[in-house]
């Protein structure tokens, strides 16, 4: 018997991968909103057979199908998608040496969470500078303190260990198409299963990349669902499919 009532509150997990890629569907983390919408275009033929106006015929064609997804986990794959960037993982580095010019009141980037930091004169004088007096270790580098023995425009050697990191090189890729899969449940129907499979999602660049704020970060990806010509057969959608437990 067909279901006659079905209020809906959706929750669940969303997975994504590049369309057509031989790779796993990767979970995108916590998603607070996932929606699909369509716009149509109305074409009217006015009634010319008599006065008074009105239409002789009218058709409505689907103009576009769009998808929107709101992400809350800034993990590597998500960041690569929203920035149209290249994501990579870099191993922790030990005894990494860089030579930089130090300026009083200035910051020198070193890398994430530096430890075992040593700062020395790079001119061969053999001077080793003192943490807390000459410089201070910060989240991703060192800050040159005033009142210490480091003078402006001093060339320094900085040796440090840095932690493993995820790196995003932003805006290095053209727009990609993604396959989306929603493995969900209907909270208003005893947690019954609901799934959505969208075949080709072509998102624009992320609406913003929030880096400082008082609220949990969220990023919205919006884009079009494109036709997937590999889906064939009578009554078979080439855009997306929804399945719900009966």
Cα 233 → chain centroid = 34
pLDDT of residue 2: 65
CA distance 159 to 94: 9
Which fold is adopted by the domain 10-88+169-244? Pnp Oxidase; Chain A (2.30.110)
CA distance 181 to 67: 12
pLDDT of residue 123: 74
CA distance 57 to 51: 16
CA distance 128 to 142: 15
Q: What is the pLDDT of residues 102-156, one digit of tens each?
A: 999 999 999 999 999 999 999 777 899 999 999 999 999 999 999 999 999 999 9
Of 23-27, 102-106, 205-209, where does mean pLDDT reach its minimum?
Answer: 205-209
Sign, Cα dihedral of 52, 53, 55, 56: positive
pLDDT of residue 189: 93
**Residue 217 phi/psi, 5° resolution?**
-70, 145
Indicate the pairing of strand 31-46 with strand 141-144.
unpaired
Please, which residues bridge with residue 185 across strands? 11, 193
What number of other Cβ atoms are within 10 A of residue 58's Cβ? 10
The continuous run of DSSP H or E covering 137 comes out as: strand 135-138
CA distance 103 to 126: 19
Burial 169-194 (b: 16+ CB within 10 A, else e): eeeeeeeebbbbbbebbbeebeebeb
Prediction pTM value = 0.82
Domain boundaries, the chain: 10-88+169-244, 92-163
**Residue 80 phi/psi, 5° resolution?**
-65, -40
Q: What is the pLDDT of residues 209-233, one digit of tens each?
A: 889 999 999 999 999 999 999 999 9
Mean pLDDT of the chain: 93
């Amino acid at each position: 018997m067909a279901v006659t009532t079905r209020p809906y509150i959706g929750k669940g997990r969303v997975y994504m991968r590049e369309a057509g890629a031989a790779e796993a569907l990767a979970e995108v983390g916590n998603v607070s909103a996932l929606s699909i919408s369509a716009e149509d275009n109305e074409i009217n033929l006015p009634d010319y057979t008599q006065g008074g106006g009105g239409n002789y015929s009218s058709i409505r064609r689907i103009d576009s199908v769009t998808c929107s997804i709101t992400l809350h986990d800034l993990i590597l794959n998500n960041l690569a998608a929203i920035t149209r960037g290249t994501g990579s993982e870099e191993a922790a580095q030990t005894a990494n040496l860089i030579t930089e010019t130090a300026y009083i009141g200035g910051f020198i980037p070193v890398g994430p969470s530096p430890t075992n930091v040593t700062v020395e004169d790079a001119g061969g004088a053999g001077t080793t500078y003192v943490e807390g007096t000459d410089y201070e270790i910060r989240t991703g580098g060192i800050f040159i303190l005033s009142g210490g023995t480091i003078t402006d425009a001093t060339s320094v050697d900085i040796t440090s260990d840095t932690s493993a990191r995820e790196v995003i090189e932003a805006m290095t890729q053209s727009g990609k198409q993604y396959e989306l899969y929603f493995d969900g449940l209907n909270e208003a129907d005893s947690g019954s299963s609901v799934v959505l499979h969208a075949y080709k999602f072509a998102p624009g660049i992320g609406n913003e990349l929030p880096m400082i704020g008082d609220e949990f970060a969220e990023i919205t990806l919006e884009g079009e669902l494109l036709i997937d010509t590999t889906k064939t057969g009578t009554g078979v959608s080439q855009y997306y499919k929804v399945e719900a437990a009966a």
